[in-house]
A = this chain, B = another copy of it.
Amino acid sequence: MAEKLKGAAVFGQSGGPTSVINASAYGVIRTALDTPEITNVYGMAHGIVGILNDTLYDMGKEDAGELKLLLNTPSSALGSCRYKLKTEEDLKRIHEVLEKHNIRYFFYNGGNDSMDTCTKVSDYLEKVGYECRVVGVPKTIDNDLYGTDHCPGFGSAAKYIATSVAEVHKDAYVYDTGTITIVEIMGRNAGWLTGASALAKLSDAAPDLIYLPELPFDLDRFMSDVEEVYKKKNKCLVTISEGAQYADGTFVSHAKMSATDGFGHAQLGGTASTLAAIVNKKLGVKVRGIELSLLQRCAAHLASQTDIDEAFLAGKSAVEFAVSGGTGKMVAFSRETKDGKYHCGITYQPLSICANTEKKIPREWINENGTYVTQEFIDYALPLIQGENERKLENSLPRFAKLKKIVV
């Protein structure tokens, strides 16, 4: 049994938001508020930037009912950032602010880059001998975090993508005239989200071809694949990852490569429209490029209840783990079977192995031609999209959480 550690807790959200990141926030905040060892619960305004600026919200002053609405409120309610810790100066400042508020529990919710932030904070605090338990809570629609079976946020995005692609399929196949539709889906280096479009086949409305960033993109092969389907069906519905790239590493959407986000990744987009122009020119057919854009990461109205429950569980587990002495780890999911059914178990992975390592779709879950995912992929993804959420509505429109955000 670990020594009891009394002090305040702080929680922050970082990186691209998801439909359920606030469910993890609620998991952390609610559990922390209910934990006697935790004296105060603070929220970082815009992630780690909120600590650097000493702008912390007092979560204890929020209305309990509004906090609960976080379960169905998309995006990061406390604000997000893409700030990468650069200098020892940053870490010193973090230490200073933590000490000022007697913060002994540090919870950070994000993807690879956020786990990198956690690692640095954890290592530094250990080095300077400031006792603070640091636990990462996973989050990313991309599902590319290493060390966990899947990530909170992926199931809801996958459900949105499968549902939307099924609906778009109905539209794309409606005319008597020939049309080709190309749908671009998020994912820089991992194709989990694009692969999820294959779930639409359970609605009898699946894409004809799926292109993932795991395999090099070959324009000639792509053109002949599309042409073959089009000749047979007078239609073709393609889904493709924004991160699709040629064998030499050039992105298919190289037009948009100039802008960069704070972490030095290329800012993608435009894969569908680039290919639509090429296909239109070659085949002389009406081609429509569709980009699911931000919608796929914020469509809380279609969030999977399984994903919401698991996101909450991840947050709750982080607090319980830290209070019982755990630190330097990220909460992770393990896939288990209970009574013959999918069950999500909790494990804890070293932060360092989760940071900056990307998990991709195994080659054997992609067909030989590289134009579809296999049944193994479907079996993997399907349990994660189950369950309809019970979001609160007013006037048939979403009623999101309204936080007071009272600065400490």
Contact = CB atoms under 8 A, between A and B. Distances in A.
A93 interface: no
Contacts of A304: 396
A171 B302 contact: no
A171 B397 contact: no
A393 interface: yes
Contacts of A293: 288, 290-291
A170 B19 CA distance: 10
Nearest to A53: B176
Contact of A79 (B174, B204, B387, B396): B174
Given A171-B74, A398-B166, A79 B176 contact: yes
Contacts of A382: 395
Contacts of A292: 295
A394 interface: yes
Interface in A146-181: 159, 162-164, 166-168, 170-177, 181
A103 to B, nearest CB: 20
Contacts of A297: 171
Contact of A200 (B46, B291, B397): B397
A254 interface: no
The number of chain A residues touching the other chain, given as a range, is: 35 or more
A303 to B, nearest CB: 10
A298 interface: yes
Q: Per DSSP, are chain A's interface residues mostly helix, strand or loop, or mixed?
A: mixed
A109 interface: no
Per assembly, the copies of the chain total: 2
A199 B394 CA distance: 12
Contact of A295 (B17, B164, B397, B402): B164
Interface in A36-83: 45-46, 49, 73-76, 79-83
Contacts of A399: 203
A10 B399 CA distance: 44
A205 B175 contact: no
A223 interface: no
Contacts of A294: 168, 171-172, 181, 288, 290
A280 to B, nearest CB: 8
B171 A400 contact: no
By Cβ-Cβ distance, the 7 closest A-B pairs, closest first, are A75-B170, A46-B176, A171-B298, A167-B298, A290-B293, A75-B171, A386-B396
18 contacts: A46-B176, A74-B167, A75-B174, A81-B177, A82-B175, A163-B301, A166-B398, A167-B299, A168-B294, A168-B295, A171-B297, A202-B397, A203-B397, A259-B286, A295-B295, A382-B395, A385-B396, A385-B397
